[in-house]
Amino acid sequence: MAIADTDTPASVGVPDPGADDVGGQRAARRQVHRLRMTLIAATNAGLQAAVVLAFAAAGAVSWQIAVVFTLTTMTTTLSFALAVRRGWNLRLADPSMAVPQVVSSLVIQLLYLVLAPNLWVIFLVGVLITFVFAMMNFSPRQFRTTLVALAAGIGVALLLGRDRFGHPGTSATDITLLWVFFVLCIHQLTIIGARFSALREQLSTKNAELSASLERIRELAAVDELTGAANRRTFMQALVEERDRADRTGQDFAVAILDIDRFKSVNDRFGHFVGDDVLKEFCEVVRSALRCTDRFARFGGEEFALLLVGPTGSREAYEAVERIRRAIADHDWAPLTRDHCVTASAGVGFRRPGEGVEALLRRADAALYQAKASGRNATTLAADQTADVGTDPAQ
């Protein structure tokens, strides 16, 4: 009875010492696995042959048939093992040789079902075991083809041997041999169950690894790696979603763009590593001053963006951003930049009804340039909205 190779890496194996790359090591482990599976097939064939020889000794079948069956099944299975051991199987389209192994086993079982009809139960169970093992490697199309061919083969074999079917006998020896044979069959089904269980565990592990990898990819796609803040892509998605929500509910929102003042001088004076630390600490300061409903993202370089949502008018938006600006100016930067005080300028744009996101960002960006022009370290509303606050908020 053949065991179809699942062509999956064995849990243990000795990789080819010359296979330095991962692909070469995986191929070597698969070849070790194939050899192990073909040797198991040869062992199972040997056990079935031993049972048939024992029945011959008990007089249930002729010695000639038993010996020829033994030679046929052992030669076939050991030939497959030799092909794997020598690497000849690697020249084939399917290195596992699953189809020829299964087909040869089924042909042998059906042939001796006809030649030794007294042992029909032995060979029919052998057919069943072989077909179940094929489940581990066959494609749906191969299963359908094999099922049709096997159904026809069993029908022919049963018709040819219908007048000679009997049973091995009812002596203690015959019953013992039947018991041994079925114990061996249960053992082989246990091997199948163990392999399916191992495959399920591998699949579960791979799925968990895949889920973790996808989550990490989503995180990397959404978050700025240096600062941990949301990146520009994530911010733009949130901005579009907020625009759509505002169009449905009539509740508008504001956008602010912040830029660290004279950040180039930080890099030139203290180096890029200190500049990176300033960016990271800047984000921590901003996050500590954010309202819980607001969104914060790194827009690029030393430029950052805020999405101010909730019940937000021009005054509320200005005050929220101004509070963040003051927190940045009041923060103790001396451990990083000694006597250089890190400040930021901000431009705030309150969305007009029906306004697109790009137009809103352009107005906030223009307000940022006004804040820079007014002397930096300032928060400025878009020019057409300063009247909503009461005075020009630039500082």
Q: Are residues 286 and 344 in the same domain?
A: yes
pLDDT at 385: 61
pLDDT tens, residue by residue, 203-237: 888 888 888 888 888 877 889 989 999 999 999 99
Among 50-59, 104-113, 173-182, the least confident range: 173-182
The verdict on residue 287 lying in a domain is yes
Among 5-9, 18-22, 65-69, 361-365, the least confident range: 5-9
Half-sphere exposure of 245 (CA within 13 A, CB side): 11
Nearest of 240, 227, 352 to residue 286 by alpha carbon: 227
State the residue for tokens 């606050």: 389
Q: How far apart are CA 167 and CA 17, in angstroms?
A: 53
Q: Are residues 206 and 284 in the same domain?
A: no
Average pLDDT over residues 320-338: 94
Distance between first and last Cα of the chain: 88
Q: Are residues 26 and 78 in the same domain?
A: yes
The verdict on residue 376 lying in a domain is yes
Asked whether the predicted pLDDT for residue 74 surpasses 80, the reply is yes
Nearest of 385, 265, 382, 285 to residue 329 by alpha carbon: 285
Q: Are residues 53 and 169 in the same domain?
A: yes
Q: How far apart are CA 24 and CA 32, in angstroms?
A: 13
pLDDT at 1: 58
Structural domain ending residue among the three candidates 189, 217, 245: 217
Nearest of 371, 111, 340, 360 to residue 239 by alpha carbon: 360
Average pLDDT over residues 332-351: 93
Q: Are residues 128 and 264 in the same domain?
A: no
Q: Are residues 307 and 186 in the same domain?
A: no
Average pLDDT over residues 260-268: 94
The verdict on residue 2 lying in a domain is no
pLDDT at 11: 37
Neighbours of 225 (CB within 10 A): 9
Q: Are residues 174 and 259 in the same domain?
A: no
pLDDT band at 15 (very low <50, low <70, confident <90, very high): very low
Q: Are residues 267 and 196 in the same domain?
A: no
The verdict on residue 209 lying in a domain is yes
Phi, psi of 95 (to 5 degrees): -65, -20
pLDDT at 120: 85
The verdict on residue 9 lying in a domain is no
Q: Are residues 126 and 179 in the same domain?
A: yes
Q: Are residues 42 and 167 in the same domain?
A: yes
Tally of domains within the chain: 2
pLDDT at 20: 52
What CATH number has the domain bearing residue 328? Answer: 3.30.70.270
Q: Which domain holds residue 285?
A: 232-388
Q: How far apart are CA 94 and CA 80, in angstroms?
A: 13
pLDDT band at 187 (very low <50, low <70, confident <90, very high): confident
Structural domain ending residue among the three candidates 187, 217, 247: 217
Asked whether the predicted pLDDT for residue 162 surpasses 80, the reply is no
The verdict on residue 182 lying in a domain is yes
Average pLDDT score, the chain: 84
Q: What residues contact residue 318 under an 8 Å CB cut-off, 6+ apart?
A: 348, 379, 381, 389, 393
Q: Are residues 334 and 258 in the same domain?
A: yes
Q: Are residues 113 and 237 in the same domain?
A: no
The verdict on residue 43 lying in a domain is yes
pLDDT tens, residue by residue, 355-394: 999 999 999 999 999 999 999 999 999 876 654 554 444 4
The verdict on residue 350 lying in a domain is yes
pTM (2 d.p.): 0.52
Average pLDDT over residues 13-32: 67
Structural domain ending residue among the three candidates 217, 246, 276: 217
